[in-house]
Amino acid sequence: MSKGLALVRLLRPKQWTKNLLVFAALVFTGSFDNEAAFRASLLAFCALCLASSAVYALNDLLDADLDRKHPKKRRRPVASGVITKPAAGLISLICAAAGLAIAWTLGKPFLTGVGVYLLLQVGYNAWFKAIPILDVFIVATGFVIRAVLGALAIEVRISGWLLFCTGALALMLAFAKRRHEFRDLGDDRAGTRPSLGGYTQAALDALVIFSAGAAALSFGVYSIESETARRHPALILTLPCVLYGVMRYLYLVFGRDSGGEPETVLLTDPHIVLAILAFLGLAVYAMTGAEVPFLPGRSA
C-alpha cells in the first residue's frame, strides 16, 4: 500500500456520507433555494468531514493493537505499519484544527457543537466503546449532533421528531453492525471489540428490531403531526419510502446477513438507493408547498 493510498484510507472519505445529515435542516425547512443557507450547509459539511476524519485517524491510532487481531482491520494504515502512530496523531490534530477553523466561520453555536462532537468521539474511542449499549448510543448521538449542526449552520429550528427518527435509524444501523460482527468474529469477538463480550445474539436481534420500529414510528409522527407536516401536508408522501427502506434493510440484515458495513449497503442496494432518491424527491416536492388532493392543507 502506497503512502498516498494509506492516507486516504486513514481519513476514510467513504464515511463522509454520514455527514450529509447536515443538509436535513436545509431540506425540511424549505431553505434549499436560499443561496446563503446552501453555502452555510456546504461549509458545515466540510467542517464535519474534517472533524470526522480527525476522529477516524485517532481511532486507528488508539486501536492499532486490537486491529492487528482483526481479519480485516489489520490492513488499516496504522495497524499494518504503513503510517506510524505519531504521524496518525499529527494528521488527526491537523484535521481537527482545520474543521474547527471552518466551524468558527459559521458562528459560536456551530463551533461549540463541533467541539462537543469531537469531545464525545474522543470519549467514545478512549472509554465508552467498550461498554455494551452505551457504545451504540454514543454512535447514534453523533448522528443526531450532525443533524443539529445542520440547523445551527443555517440558524433554523429542527423538529424533535426528526431528531428522534435520526437517532433511532442510527441505532438500527449500529446494532445491525454489532450483530454482524458478533456472528462474524466468533469466539475472538471480545478480543477485537471489547463491547461484543457483553452482547448476545438474541439481544442484538431484539435491539435491531426495536430500533427499526422506533425509527419508523417516529418518522410517521413527524410526517403527519409535526409543525412542519401541518404546514406541508404532502410530507406524508415520504413515509412509504422510509417504511420500505427500513423493511428492506431488516431483510438484508436478517435474510442475507448484511449490515457489517452500513454505508456500503445504503449506497449499493438498488432498492434502498431508489427509496432514498424517492424520499429526497418527495421531500423537496412537499416542502415547495405542493398539495395532496386527498389531504386538505392545514396551518400550524
Across 211-223, b (16+ Cβ under 10 Å) vs e yields bbebbbebbbebb
Kindly compute the dihedral angle of the four CA atoms of residues 149, 106, 43, 139, in this order, to the nearest 10 degrees. Answer: -30
Residue 283 falls inside a structural domain: yes
Predicted confidence at residue 175, as pLDDT, reads: 95
Q: Helix or strand or coil: residue 81?
A: coil
Q: Of the candidates 158, 187, 214, which is a domain's last residue? A: 158
Q: Of the candidates 158, 182, 200, which is a domain's last residue? A: 158
191 and 51 together in one domain: no
Give 222's Cβ-side CA count (13 Å radius). Answer: 20
Predicted confidence at residue 300, as pLDDT, reads: 39
Residue 248 falls inside a structural domain: yes
Distance (Å, whole) CA 226 – CA 219: 10
Geometric angle at alpha carbon 78, from 52 and 170, rounded to 5°: 35
Predicted confidence at residue 264, as pLDDT, reads: 83
Q: Of the candidates 158, 183, 200, which is a domain's last residue? A: 158
Each residue's pLDDT expressed in tens, for the chain with a length of 300 residues: 677 888 888 898 888 989 999 999 998 888 878 899 999 999 999 999 999 999 999 988 887 777 777 677 777 888 887 888 899 899 999 999 999 999 999 999 999 999 999 999 999 988 888 899 999 999 999 999 999 999 999 988 888 999 999 999 999 999 999 998 888 776 666 666 778 888 889 999 999 999 999 999 999 999 999 988 988 999 999 999 999 999 999 999 999 888 778 888 888 899 999 999 999 999 999 998 777 776 655 543
Residue 2 falls inside a structural domain: no
CATH of the domain at 35: 1.10.357.140
Predicted confidence at residue 64, as pLDDT, reads: 78
144 and 190 together in one domain: no
202 and 288 together in one domain: yes
Predicted confidence at residue 31, as pLDDT, reads: 81
Neighbours of 95 (CB within 10 A): 22
Residue 3 falls inside a structural domain: no
Contact between 201 and 263 under an 8 Å Cβ cutoff? The reply is: no
Q: Domain range holding 296?
A: 160-300
Distance (Å, whole) CA 258 – CA 253: 5
Q: Helix or strand or coil: residue 232?
A: coil
Phi, psi of 149 (to 5 degrees): -65, -35
Residue 137 falls inside a structural domain: yes
114 and 164 together in one domain: no
Contact between 219 and 257 under an 8 Å Cβ cutoff? The reply is: no
Question: Which residue carries 405542493 as its cell?
Answer: 290
Predicted confidence at residue 257, as pLDDT, reads: 84
Contact between 90 and 10 under an 8 Å Cβ cutoff? The reply is: no
Geometric angle at alpha carbon 174, from 16 and 158, rounded to 5°: 65
Distance (Å, whole) CA 22 – CA 24: 6
Residue 170 falls inside a structural domain: yes
13 and 154 together in one domain: yes
Question: Which residue carries 424520499 as its cell?
Answer: 279
170 and 288 together in one domain: yes
Predicted confidence at residue 187, as pLDDT, reads: 65
